[in-house]
Amino acid sequence: MKTSAYILGTLLLLSNLGYAQSEDEPKLEINGFVRNFTGVLLAPPNEYSIIQNTLNLEFRLQSDKFALYANPYYFQYPNKADEFRLREAYVDIYLDKFDFRLGKQQIVWGQADGVFITDIVSPLDLTDFLMRDFNEIRIGVNAAKINYYPSYDHSFELVWMPSFTPGVLPEDGSMWRPPVDFAAPPTFDNSNSGVPFNLESSEVFLKYSMSKAWADIQLMGAYTWDDAPAMHVTPIAPPDPAAPGLLIKPEHHRLALAGMSFNTQVADFVIRGEGAYYFNKYYQTADPTATDFLVEKNFINYVVGLDKTIGDWKFSTQFIQRVIIDYDEQIKENEVDNLATLLISKSMFRETVRLEWFSYHGLTTNDALMRIRGFYYPMDAVSLELGANIFTGTEGMFGQYNDNDMVYARIKYNF
Amino acid sequence: MKHLKVMSVMLIIAITTIVMPAKVQAQTGKEIAWKVYDRPSPKDGESDMTMTLINSKGKERVRYLHQFLKEYDEVEKKVMFFKAPADVKNTSFLNYSYDDDRDDDQWLYLPALKKVKRISGGSKDDYFMGSDFTYEDLEKRSPNKDVHKLLKSETLNGEQCYVIESTPKEEGQYSKRVAWVIKDKWIPLKIEFYDEDEELLKVLTIPEFKQLKGYWTVITQNMENVQRSHKTVIKLSNIELEKGLGDEKFTQRAMMKGL
């Protein structure tokens, strides 16, 4: 109720400003979409994986010197509680060499598609795993963002987030909830799962960008929190010594990273890449001498991608690798994890039909997610999407969802 | 002997008569192509652009854009902002087109993705936004890429025109183009595009042009695909030339900020 009142207040504020200044330069634009998303699992008894109706609104009041923007959305479900939230709400101020953005905002970094290497400013809402559109997966964060443009092809971006916004995991009972893998029955204690709401706990991100005709290059650094909480494990003495248990205390820890990204065109190919060195990530270990069965390790994560267009066909592929530095064999994750993506897309009939294949391939875990879909645009602003999400493998990020193969339809009207 | 000499001279004259006009015509065709290419154009400008896609049943789909353009020494920079329909609104497209044979550099900003992506510039055969214009159709083509031949002169829509045939030196999306170029204005009033089988594929017509700030400017152009019976009409409005547009218009910052 409080959220609804806040959103309503924001909308009224925007509407009033638009009305009050209608004779001046700023103008209010209202856009959005309505959408039905219905999916059904392929495995009997063919349960619905999702039935979701969406109203997404975008309010923008913009002039040369400032802008106000709000993006409330409403998810209606027949089988669970509805969601009415504000994805973004911010103020932009444009000066000669500076841009300021204050408020709740999605911040997107990096060059990769569908993977998150340096794109870690906005945490992820994985309620439906990766099934949502990427602009709906990123969670808006409360932040002050300052962009400084000393020249047309160089810029600096500083992001300060006064408070930590955690990622969202699938809820208990969800088909997307990852299976818990502990050696003994766990008891969860969430008393340390929060991050203090104070200045000391704020997060800072800095990026330098150079944009030339021959290449775009970014260098970035961050002092943030790990969105994924570390699981501090303590054996507990149960009443029955024959049935030992584990006390699990999720806790977020600081994470620092330094990275870079680039893109350039060579012949008819666009080559993209990004990589980051992460400091002090907590990994679970089987080493009984490790405190809470956790060890701190640095790791490298990078991606290299290649894009090519041939007529109406578009091809894109990426190779992603994550390497844990100074690896210990008792760490539960693999030392090296390799992933690849493939995108093939074709437009036809004057762009009224588009077919798309996008797949993730876990090269280390031998699993995959294949997203096959077709779009039909019978008229402007209306799209009909039919698709299938197919999981293969038995382990890994995608193999764990092998029972979640589905087909779905989405009908969307933009206004 | 004298008879033979006279015959030889007559033969030389005959050959010269046949060959020389052809040589003159070839040079003239090339000159006309260069006149079109070098037609004075403004250093910069902006306009609204309406693109209407009409299918074989007469059903229309309309796209609204705003574009900025600026000429530099060796590069032409263009940025286009999509205003409608709603599903592409606030998308922007930045293009650097070079005078030499370098591929264009292109970037696309998709508001849903919230980032600017460099896209492959090597796909000039692609149709622009589902229209009947390819990317190549919308840019100036260097006359050096074709062999030009003056076919004839004739009147079209009341305008005296040269008709030139341009055949690409290297294989491309068209086997040849035939253009009706208005004498002394150097605007192609009509262009026929032939496919690889040398069958007529598309016809471009210019029903409206006018002089703005001393520059002959195409206002409306129709591209009809005669094989598929659909066409596209591009119409410019609110044209402003020589505004002294700043370099900041042609940056990723401007793409993300929008109009």
Is residue B3 exposed (0-12), middle (13-18) or buried (19+ Cβ within 10 Å)? exposed
Question: B94 lies in which domain range?
Answer: 42-257
> pLDDT confidence of B209, banded at 50, 70, 90?
very high
Measured in whole angstroms, the distance separating CA A217 from the mean position of its chain's CA atoms is 22
> Do residue B89 and residue A31 have CB atoms under 8 angstroms apart?
yes
CB A305, CB A331: distance < 8 Å: no
C-alpha closest to that of A170 among A133, A122, A136, A130:
A130
The answer to whether position A18 is within a domain reads no
The answer to whether position B22 is within a domain reads no
Bridge-based pairing of strands B215-225 and B230-241 is antiparallel
The answer to whether position B16 is within a domain reads no
The answer to whether position B33 is within a domain reads no
> Do residue A152 and residue B115 have CB atoms under 8 angstroms apart?
no
Contacts of A361 (CB under 8 A, 6+ apart): A339, A340, A341, A342, A367, A368
The answer to whether position A187 is within a domain reads yes
> pLDDT confidence of B21, banded at 50, 70, 90?
very low
> Do residue B119 and residue A263 have CB atoms under 8 angstroms apart?
no
The answer to whether position B82 is within a domain reads yes
Nearest residue in B to A268, CA atom:
B122
Structure tokens at B134: 């390819």
The answer to whether position B253 is within a domain reads yes
pTM for this entry: 0.85
Amino acid residing at A193: S
Task: Name which of A244-248, A296-300, A306-310, A355-359 the model is least confident about.
Answer: A244-248
The answer to whether position B25 is within a domain reads no
> What is chain A's length?
415
> What is chain B's length?
259
Q: How many other CB atoms are there within 10 angstroms of residue B234's CB atom?
A: 21
How many domains would you assign to chain B?
Answer: 1
CATH of the domain at A188: 2.40.160
- Residues A176-228 have pLDDT tens digits of 998 777 778 888 899 989 999 999 999 999 999 999 999 999 999 999 999 99
CB A401, CB A392: distance < 8 Å: no
Measured CA distances, A37 to A31, A200, A260, A407, B58 (Å):
20, 42, 37, 11, 32
> pLDDT confidence of B12, banded at 50, 70, 90?
very low
The answer to whether position B26 is within a domain reads no
- Residues A94-149 have pLDDT tens digits of 999 999 999 999 999 999 999 999 999 999 999 999 988 888 999 999 999 999 99
Distance CA A309, CA B119 (A): 9
**What is the reported pLDDT for A208?**
98
This model of the complex carries an ipTM of: 0.87
Distance CA B75, CA B126 (A): 21
CATH of the domain at B82: 2.50.20.10
**What is the reported pLDDT for A240?**
66
> Do residue B53 and residue A311 have CB atoms under 8 angstroms apart?
no
- Residues A28-50 have pLDDT tens digits of 999 999 999 999 999 999 999 99
The answer to whether position B194 is within a domain reads yes
> pLDDT confidence of B158, banded at 50, 70, 90?
very high
**What is the reported pLDDT for B8?**
46
The answer to whether position A35 is within a domain reads no
Rounded to a whole number, what is the distance in Å from the CA of B79 to chain A's nearest CA?
14
The answer to whether position A77 is within a domain reads no
Rounded to a whole number, what is the distance in Å from the CA of B106 to chain A's nearest CA?
9
Distance CA B188, CA B205 (A): 8
Nearest residue in A to B61, CA atom:
A380
Distance CA B156, CA B166 (A): 19
**What is the reported pLDDT for B27?**
54
C-alpha closest to that of A360 among A308, A403, A303:
A303
- B interface with A, Cβ–Cβ < 8 A, is 53, 55, 61-62, 75, 84-87, 89, 96, 103, 105, 112-123, 125-127, 129-131, 230, 247-248, 251-253, 257-258
How many domains would you assign to chain A?
Answer: 1
Of B116, B120, B258, the CB nearest to A308: B120
The answer to whether position A347 is within a domain reads yes
- Judged against a pLDDT cut of 50, whether residue B24 lies above it is answered with no
> Do residue B119 and residue A134 have CB atoms under 8 angstroms apart?
no
Question: A173 lies in which domain range?
Answer: 95-414
Of A267, A312, A352, the CB nearest to B122: A267
- Residues B192-207 have pLDDT tens digits of 999 999 999 999 999 9
Amino acid residing at B229: S
CB A370, CB A376: distance < 8 Å: no
- Residues B31-88 have pLDDT tens digits of 999 999 999 999 999 999 999 999 999 999 999 999 999 999 889 999 999 999 998 9
